[in-house]
Structures are given as C-alpha cells and as structure tokens.
C-alpha cells in the first residue's frame, strides 16, 4: 500500500526527518523558509497530512481551499492557536499537538527569564561586552533578590506547575496562582501553590508574575495597561506563553514609566519581531521564542507528531487530538 503523503512546513531535527521518510511519503522543507498562504493551500490540496507549526497561520480562509486532499493537521508545538480549529473541524480535519514533552524546557526558560531580569544579567553582559565595566563596587548593578519573594502564576497547567516546582523547591519562593479552569488543586498544592480568587489578586500580591495561559479570544491582551498598574512598581512580568496575551505597547509604556520594574519575554505579538519600543528598553530581557529549544525536546516534539499522524493513518485515535 502506498505510504500517506505528508508535507512538513519547516525543517525538523535530523533524527525525526529520517523517521518521517521511513513512515511516510514526506515532502520536507530543506530551505526552512516559512510557507506563504498559497503554498499552504497547495499543501492542503496535495498532501494527506500537513505537519505545521507556530509560524504557519492556518486560517479559515486558507482552509477554505477546495478540493482538499488533507485529512490531518499535525502541529509541531503544544500551542495550536496558529490553527483555526473551528474551521478545521467544519472541514472534517483532525488536529493534533505535542503536549508534555516540552514542559520542563519551557519552565527552564521561564525561570531563566525570571533570574535574568531580576539580577540584570542581560544588562550586565551588554555592559561588559561594551567595555563599560570599571570593576567591582558595592553599588554596581544592584538587582532584586529572588529567594523569599512571591511568584504569581496565571494559568496553572503543566508548564506552570513545573516553574512553580523550580521556584518553590529550588529558590524558596512563595507561589500564588489564578486559574479559573483548574478542576483539582492537588498538584498545584504539591508544588507550593496557593490559589487566589482573581487575576487581580495575583497581580497585586506577586513580586514576579509568570503567564501560562493559552492564546484565546478570552486571553488576548489579558495583561493590559490597567492590569499592569495593579502590579507593584518593584514587580516583574514573565511571558513564555504567547505574545498576544500581553498588550506589548502597554507593556513598553509601563516599563518606560516605571509602572513595573522589568519584564522577561520569550514571545511577542508580531513574531519574529519584538516591538521597536521594547528593544530600546534596558529593563526587559528578550529571547527569540526559545521555550522548547533544546535538541532533546525538539526531537521529542517531532516524534510526538509522528506518533499522532501514524496512529491516524492506521485508523486509530491520535493520542494528542485537539480537534
């Protein structure tokens, strides 16, 4: 029997691409160039499976192309807000994602941002590389102490619990959180988490606020100018979720005006750019969407996509079906 035809929109780790070739009639993207809307539509018309990722905006309009050959969208990533799942469902397509395998690495990056912004390490490195360091002195580049401080978490899913564990057990931080969708608080409690009744309560009380909610219509600009003003002037905002959970222009203004002390960001409203405003600000650490970027994790993500797509073409229910 002929192998299912799949199209992979970006380059994947070598070990995964090799297995892709064994399992499927795979068309790879050796140049690793983001695909245009027209190319994505061509893929929907010519392949049985489209293996896409965060940089592919699979909109209702793109999905409206007819006739379609595609039956499954295997997303390389736990977040799948790049796909209009309602439209995919209307067209009878299955959508899968890659949960769990990137939890630890993404929590590591959230903790990295927290440490970097509090202890001014990005600034310090720029200072040294620019030849501006004149030597040790008691008042040089004083940052904020982390141990004993309060970490406020918005959205208490897997990644949130993993950063809570690091912050509580490793750094002696108090953990508070808000998650209106959490059905059981037991796991959060095991990592030191204390629930709060509202997002606003967390913003007022925390020294660090870390965002771990998915990008939905409800969470768009969840952190806006008004809510930033609820935070302590000494507090820091960390975002490893999705850029549009934060109103980036409002954040840039809040950082410039000293409404909050700093921010650590891995995601942006208009990737691959961080707004020009942010780039000019010293008290913000900016990473290029590195949350899951370890060799081990990216391979595991790729293999997880393969597991799902293989199950689908064998007539089984894909383990990580989201639509």
Q: Report the catalytic residues.
A: 242, 271, 289
Span near ligand DGY by CB under 6 A; candidates 9-17, 73-81, 107-115, 193-201: 73-81
17: Cβ contacts below 8 Å, ≥ 6 apart: 8, 11, 26, 28, 302
Q: Which residues pair with 8 in a beta bridge?
A: 51
143 in Cβ contact with 119 (< 8 Å): yes
Distances (CA, A) of 162 to 46, 74, 265, 266, 302: 40, 25, 18, 17, 22
Span near ligand DGY by CB under 6 A; candidates 74-82, 113-121, 181-189, 275-283: 74-82
| Least CB distance to ligand DGY at residue 271 (A) | 10
Which one of 47, 62, 72, 78 is in contact with ligand DGY (CB under 6 A)?
A: 78
Which one of 292, 300, 302, 320 is in contact with ligand DGY (CB under 6 A)?
A: 292
Site for ligand DGY contains 302 (CB under 6 A):
no
| Least CB distance to ligand DGY at residue 134 (A) | 40
Which one of 4, 49, 74, 77 is in contact with ligand DGY (CB under 6 A)?
A: 77
Q: Which is nearer to ligand DGY, 196 or 242 (CB)?
A: 242
Site for ligand DGY contains 79 (CB under 6 A):
yes
Q: Which is nearer to ligand DGY, 77 or 318 (CB)?
A: 77
Which one of 49, 291, 302, 318 is in contact with ligand DGY (CB under 6 A)?
A: 291
Helix, strand or coil for residue 322? Answer: coil
User: Rounded to an integer, what distance in angstroms lies between the CA atom of residue 142 and that of residue 216?
Assistant: 38
**Pairing state of beta strands 262-265 and 208-211?**
unpaired
Helices (H), the chain: 14-23, 37-46, 60-63, 85-90, 103-118, 121-129, 158-165, 171, 186-190, 199-205, 225-228, 248-256, 276-279, 295-313
177 in Cβ contact with 193 (< 8 Å): yes
Q: Which is nearer to ligand DGY, 102 or 285 (CB)?
A: 102
Q: Which is nearer to ligand DGY, 81 or 205 (CB)?
A: 81
Which one of 20, 72, 102, 230 is in contact with ligand DGY (CB under 6 A)?
A: 102
Which residues bind to ligand DGY, rule: CB under 6 A? 54, 77-79, 102, 291-292
């Amino acid at each position: 029997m002929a192998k299912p035809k799949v199209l992979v929109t970006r380059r994947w780790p070598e070990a995964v691409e090799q297995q892709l070739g064994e399992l499927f009639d795979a068309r790879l993207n050796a140049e690793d160039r983001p695909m245009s809307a027209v190319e994505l539509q061509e893929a929907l018309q010519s392949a049985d499976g489209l293996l896409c990722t965060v940089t592919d905006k699979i909109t209702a309009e793109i999905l409206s192309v007819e006739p379609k050959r595609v039956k499954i969208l295997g997303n390389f990533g736990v977040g799948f807000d790049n796909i209009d799942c309602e439209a995919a469902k209307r067209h009878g397509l299955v959508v899968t994602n890659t949960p769990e395998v990137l939890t630890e690495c993404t929590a590591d990056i959230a903790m990295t941002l927290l440490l970097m912004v509090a202890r001014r390490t990005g600034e310090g490195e720029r200072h040294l590389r620019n030849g501006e360091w004149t030597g040790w002195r008691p008042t040089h580049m004083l940052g904020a102490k982390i141990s004993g401080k309060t970490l406020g978490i918005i959205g208490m899913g897997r990644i949130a619990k993993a950063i809570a564990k690091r912050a509580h057990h490793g750094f002696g931080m108090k953990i508070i959180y808000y998650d209106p969708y959490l059905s059981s608080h037991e796991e959060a409690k095991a990592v030191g988490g204390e629930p709060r009744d509202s997002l606003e309560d967390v913003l007022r009380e925390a020294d660090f606020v870390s965002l771990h909610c998915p990008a939905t219509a409800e969470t768009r600009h969840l952190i806006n100018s008004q809510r930033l003003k609820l935070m302590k002037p000494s507090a820091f905002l960390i975002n490893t979720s999705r850029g549009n959970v934060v109103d980036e222009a409002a954040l840039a203004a809040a950082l410039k005006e000293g409404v909050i002390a700093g921010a650590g960001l891995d995601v942006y409203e208009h990737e691959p750019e961080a707004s020009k405003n942010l780039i000019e600000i010293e008290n913000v650490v900016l990473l290029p969407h590195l949350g899951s970027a370890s060799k081990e994790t990216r391979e595991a993500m790729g293999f997880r996509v393969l597991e799902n797509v293989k199950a689908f073409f064998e007539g089984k229910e894909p383990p990580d079906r989201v639509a």
